[in-house]
Amino acid sequence: MLTEGIKAPDFTLNDKDGNAVSLADFKGRKVVLYFYPKDNTPGCSRQACAFAAAYGDFRKNNAAVIGISKDSEASHRRFAEKYNLPFIILSDPELTAIKAYGVWQEKKLYGKVSMGVVRTTYVIDENGIIEKVMPKVKPDTNAAEILEYLNPKT
81 touches 43 (CB < 8 A): no
- CA 134 from chain centre, in angstroms, equals 11
* 26: DSSP letter: G
Q: Please state the φ and ψ torsions of residue 114, each to the nearest 5 degrees.
A: -150, 170
Residues β-bridged to residue 12: 22
Q: How far apart are CA 124 and CA 29, in angstroms?
A: 9
Active site (catalytic) residues: 44
151 backbone φψ class: left, alpha, beta (φ>0; ψ -120 to 50): beta
Q: How far apart are CA 77 and CA 79, in angstroms?
A: 5
